[in-house]
Structure formats: structure tokens, C-alpha cells
Chains A and B, each alone.
Chain A
Amino acid sequence: MSAASPTHALLLATLLFAVGMLGVLARRNLLLMLMSIEIMLNAAALAFIAAGARWHAAQGQVMFLMILSLAAAEAAVGLAIILRLHSAGRPTLDADTGNRLKG
């Protein structure tokens, strides 16, 4: 097996997290924001895996499973909301108009 350094993996996780956050903050399209959140979740998952590998513990993968279910639920609900908004007359999916709450 290869001997990748868990520290480097954590570095990658950090980078992915920062990029995801950049996407969440900078993009106005709800769909793209959701995708960026997926990247952030992936980064978190990677951090757990790397930590598990660093300390030879299976708990890292347990937490990974938790994150996985969380991501699945989040994607389902988030995409449902997006579809709903789209069909309710907001085809632009502009996140900044979310404060209008209506129409």
C-alpha cells in the first residue's frame, strides 16, 4: 500500500474546504452554492478519514459515514427547495432574493 502522509491529506482537506467556502460566499446561484457545500462536506469527510489514518482508528470512517448520510439528506432537501423555488416563479435561483420570502 502507498504511504500517503495524513498531514498532507489534511492540507488537501483544508484547501477543499476553503474553495468550497469561497463558492458558497461568492456564488449567487443557489444550485452552485449547494454544489460548493458538497465540496465542503467532502473536505470534512476527508479530514475525518485522514485523522483516522493518522491515529490508526476506525472512528474516522464511522464519522465519514455520518457525514455521508448528512450529505445525502442535505442534498435531497436542498434540491427539493431549489425545484420548488424554480417552479414558484423564481427561475433565477438568486440567493440574494431569499429575503423577499414571497413570490
Chain B
Amino acid sequence: MSDLPFILFSLVAAWAAIMVVTRAVAVHALLYLVVVPLSLAGVFFTLGAPFAAMLEVIIYAGAVMVLFVFVVMMLNLGRSDRDRERHWMAPAVWIGPALLSGLLLIALCITLRTIPPTAASDAMVPIGPQSVGLLLYGPYVLSVELASFLLLAGLVSAFHIGRNIRGTGTGEP
């Protein structure tokens, strides 16, 4: 039963994702959202990508989620927000999106069936940080630069958008 950890992590990730989508209270959703990258890190590990698993834990569960937590704290949500959220989540609202998502799921699953299966004897060989690093600073150096530009742009725009919050209150007339 070497597949057990994979199945376990998978179930946890799927369950957590569903909980995120269906929670009325933002903090609850956020807590479930932390579970998703953590369990996915486990999945990565079982897939033989320990480096990716580490980054997933550090950056996603560590950095991005903390960002979310801070924002939720600053929003100062209360009981009224939860009630409004419940109101917004009436069953009828889910029909269309569920239909679309279901269709997408079916279509993707059918696509997946076209992938030839791996040979059962083919052992999962881990791909370590070294090979990834060699690729990153070899043929993919341009995309590293692009990623850095993207992050810089994100930084600048986040700073720009948040610039006036304290200063002039709304910043608008």
C-alpha cells in the first residue's frame, strides 16, 4: 500500500478545497485554505518532487496564507458579514457554476484518459533541486527574469494601490 499517503493527501486536499468554497465565514475558509497547500505538498512529495513540496510549504502555506490572514484581520469581519454571506450562498446560486464546473471536470477527465498509462514497474524517481536549478539557470533563465519582473510589478502595484489608505482616508471625494 505504497499509494496510501498519496490517497490520504489527495482526499485531504480535495476535502479542504471543497470546505474553502463552501464556508460562510472568511476565517474558516482561510483555515481550510491553509490545509490545501500543506496536503498538496504531501502529494508533491509522493510524486517525487521534494523541492517543490518544500517551496509549496514555505511560500504558499507560509507567505501567501499569512498575507491572507493579515487581510482578513484588517477587514474586521463580523456576524453581519457571515449572515450576508449565507444569504449570498442560496442554493439556486450554485446551479449554474456547478453545471459549468461539472462539465469542465468531465471534459478534463476524458482528456486525461488519452494519456498513456505508466508502466507499473516504472519506479518514481525523485527529481531533486539540483536538476531544477540547472534548468532554471540554464535554458529557462529568461523565464526567471520574467518571474522577477512579475514580482516587481506586483510589488509596485500593491504599494501603489495601498498608498493612500491611511493618508486621506478614502482617497476619493
Chain A residues near B (Cβ < 8 Å): 1-12, 14-29, 31-32, 34-36, 38-39, 42, 45-46, 49-50, 52-54, 56-62, 64-66, 68-77, 79-84, 86-89, 91-93, 102-103
Contacts and interface: CB of A to CB of B under 8 A. Distances in A.
Interface of B: 2-3, 5-6, 10, 13-14, 17-18, 20-21, 23, 26, 29-30, 33, 36-37, 40, 43-44, 46-49, 51-52, 55-56, 59-60, 63-64, 67-68, 71-72, 74-75, 81, 84-85, 88-89, 93-94, 96-98, 100-102, 104-105, 108-109, 112, 115, 117-118, 123-127, 131-132, 134-136, 140, 143, 146-148, 150-151, 153-155, 157-159, 161-162, 165, 169-172
Main secondary structure of the interface of B (DSSP, over half): helix
B115 A84 contact: no
Contacts of B97: 21-22, 24-26
B64 A35 contact: no
B101 A77 contact: no
A46 B43 contact: yes
A14 B105 contact: yes
Contacts of B96: 25
Contacts of B158: 76-77, 79-80
B124 A2 contact: yes
24 contacts: A1-B48, A1-B124, A12-B10, A15-B14, A15-B105, A18-B102, A18-B104, A18-B108, A19-B18, A22-B100, A35-B30, A35-B33, A42-B36, A42-B37, A46-B44, A57-B127, A61-B127, A66-B147, A73-B154, A75-B64, A82-B71, A83-B161, A84-B162, A88-B172
A64 B127 contact: no
A21 B75 CA distance: 24
Contact of A2 (B5, B13, B132, B172): B5
B127 A58 contact: yes
A72 B21 contact: no
A16 B118 contact: no
B104 A56 contact: no
A58 B3 contact: no
